[in-house]
Amino acid sequence: MTTMMTSKPSPLTPTGTGHPTYTQSLPCAEESVGIARLSVAATLRAWGLEDLVDDARLIASELATNAIRHATRHIPDPEQRGCFRLKVERPSDHLVRISTFDRSRSVPRVVQSTETAESGRGMAVVEAISSRWGIDPKPWGKGVWAECATPGHLA
């Protein structure tokens, strides 16, 4: 005799709805750059994406530095500069998206910097190591995001 067994999903069974996201609000202060780097590395390691840690950490550094420096440069008192938000998403198994959200509506651009220039390289680096990057305009500011894919799975 064959017995048919049906099993109901337990409340603890993962339902597979969507990919994970890590997000963190950080003060607009230089110390936050290191925290953003650590958070991104820890998140990707938790997701088993060690291959992407170096690039994602560098992207996070550049985007966080820009959010701190350029979005709050008009506010002289550091105490009044508020926070920016870091977000790490995994839109698919092999793709990671790093974003920062700040309260300035001016947008980043890739600058053609000279050999000797002391600044103007951050977004060029982001463009070079990401598979794509972009801006997400908001009524209160913007998000800046960049994606990188695991080797062999370029988006």
Q: Which is nearer to ligand ATP, 49 or 61 (CB)?
A: 61
> Which own/partner contact pairs does 53-56 have at CB distance under 8 Å and 24+ positions apart?
55/129, 55/130, 55/148, 56/88, 56/96, 56/98, 56/148
Residue that is written with structure tokens 């994970």 in the block: 20
Q: Which is nearer to Mg ion, 35 or 110 (CB)?
A: 110
Which segments within the chain are labelled E, that is strand?
A: 21-27, 83-92, 95-102, 132-138, 141-149
Q: Is 100 an interacting residue with respect to Mg ion (CB under 5 A)?
A: no
Out of 66, 72, 99, 130, the only residue in the binding site for Mg ion (CB under 5 A) is 66
Residue 137 to residue 16: CA distance in whole angstroms: 30
Nearest distance in Å: CB 58, Mg ion: 12
The minimum distance between CB 7 and Mg ion, in angstroms, equals 54
User: What's the closest the beta carbon of residue 121 comes to ligand ATP, in angstroms?
Assistant: 4
Q: Of 67 and 148, which has the nearer Cβ to Mg ion? A: 67
Q: Which does 108 bind (CB under 5 to 8 A by kind): Mg ion, ligand ATP, none?
A: ligand ATP
Query: Is-contact 85 25, C-beta < 8 A?
Result: yes
User: Which residues contribute to the site for Mg ion (CB under 5 A)?
Assistant: 66, 122
